[in-house]
Structure 1
Amino acid sequence: MMDPGAGSPHSFFPLTHSTQVGILPEVASLSRDDLEDLLACDDKLTEFVEGLPQVAALRNQCEQLSAQNEALAKANLERSSDYERARDATIQKVEELTSLRSSFEDMTIKQQKASEKLAPSSIQESLLIFAAQSEEDSEKIAEDFLHSHIDVDAFLDSYLEKRIETHLRKFKGERLGAQLRELHKAGF
């Protein structure tokens, strides 16, 4: 248990032992006339109180605390600029991250579209669609010839070219489909 006369670690002035509890030794040493003079004159009382070692210790402690507070305030001000620089750098990094994330998501979507477009099944489907389109084009050329819109030489050149293109596309599409089925059977 703590000694009540030793004072607490948070007290502003040390307690001293006196013969009478609660009376300062400086007051206890004064005569009755001196005490009455102090009570009668506010200036003397103020001077006496300010001359007490406890008050001087308190004043000294206040000055020390004030100096510590001022030093802490200056340190906080110095840290404030560091904090603001760090905050600004963090905000900039967050904006950069957001931009990079958005760019990454856009590129991921483009990559997925390209992967789907370049997938063997998509290539096969495109070949068959283009083969059907070439076949329609060749039929249109034949109709133009039958309606005498083009001459024989132009008909033969364009019609044969479209028919060869149609058959090549169908052949490549069917062959790719067969290869895909074989891969699928093999577990790929």
Structure 2
Amino acid sequence: MSIQTALTTEFPELSKLTRDDLEDLLTDPAYFQAIFHTLPKVKELYQSQAELGLANETIANQNLALQDGLYRLRSETKDAFDEAKTLEARWAELQREQKEIYQRFTPQFLLMRLRHATTAQDDLSETVASAFVRSTSSETAATPAGGKEVDDFVKEFRELRKTYHKRVMWGDQWAGGKVAWRDYE
């Protein structure tokens, strides 16, 4: 198949041209452009290209119309994310504070406080007794201790020792496994 036959088969519009015209077409770029742009396939291609360009322009305009809303949404999302991070940090801080507060109410901590309070109560009652003994021994043998002072001491000492023995009993019950603690964690 000759080049001319192949060319006219592919582009039937060129079959009207003579051999000289075809040769001029190959050698003269201006003539080539003039013929080329009159071909229906080329016109159809340019038309499709123009339609695609318009479609792209329409899509671009639609995207630009959405741009402000998207920027606003992005800003709102960032603000919400930042707030969530702030709240997450606050949550962790509150959990830490809660753990510290609950730590004061664990069975081990409460038992330790009971033991310290028991020891402190014993020391206090002994201090009151020692002070009373010192005050009565410093008086002369000729002056007996006043009955009211002894009654006040006995009443105070008795209350202090009562509290001490209650705490000892609670500690003994704990040691005997008779105390049940509920966990609130």
User: Quick check: TM above 0.5?
Assistant: yes
Report the AA paired with residue 181 of structure 1.
Answer: G
Q: Distance in 2 between matches of 1:56 and 1:72?
A: 24
Q: 1:141/1:168 Cα in 2 relative to 1: closer, same or farther (>3 Å)?
A: closer
Number of equivalent positions? 164
Deviations 1:90-144 (A, max 9, x none): 3223222222222222222222233231234433321321232243345555666
What is the correspondence of 1:33-112 to structure 2 with a 5 Å cutoff? Answer: 33-35=20-22, 38=25, 42-112=29-99
> Which residue of 20, 24, 35 corresponds with 2:5?
20
Deviation for aligned residue 1:79: 4.0
Report the AA paired with residue 45 of structure 1.
Answer: F
Identity %: 22
Q: Distance in 1 between matches of 2:153 and 2:76?
A: 66
Secondary structure of 1:118's aligned partner = coil
Structure 2 residue aligned with 1:171: 166
Structure 1 residue aligned with 2:139: none
2:114/2:167 contact within 8 Å kept: yes
Runs of at least 5 residues in structure 2 that lack an aligned partner in the other structure: 137-144, 181-185
Secondary structure of 1:107's aligned partner = helix
Secondary structure of 2:55's aligned partner = helix
Of structures 1 and 2, the one with the larger relative CO (CA 8 A, separation 6+) is: 2
Q: Distance in 2 between matches of 1:175 and 1:36?
A: 120
Q: Please tell me the root mean square deviation across aligned C-alpha atoms, in Å.
A: 3.9
Report the AA paired with residue 177 of structure 2.
Answer: R
1:137/1:162 contact within 8 Å kept: no
Runs of at least 5 residues in structure 1 that lack an aligned partner in the other structure: 1-18
Structure 2 residue aligned with 1:181: 177
Q: What TM-score do you get using the length of structure 2 for normalisation?
A: 0.63
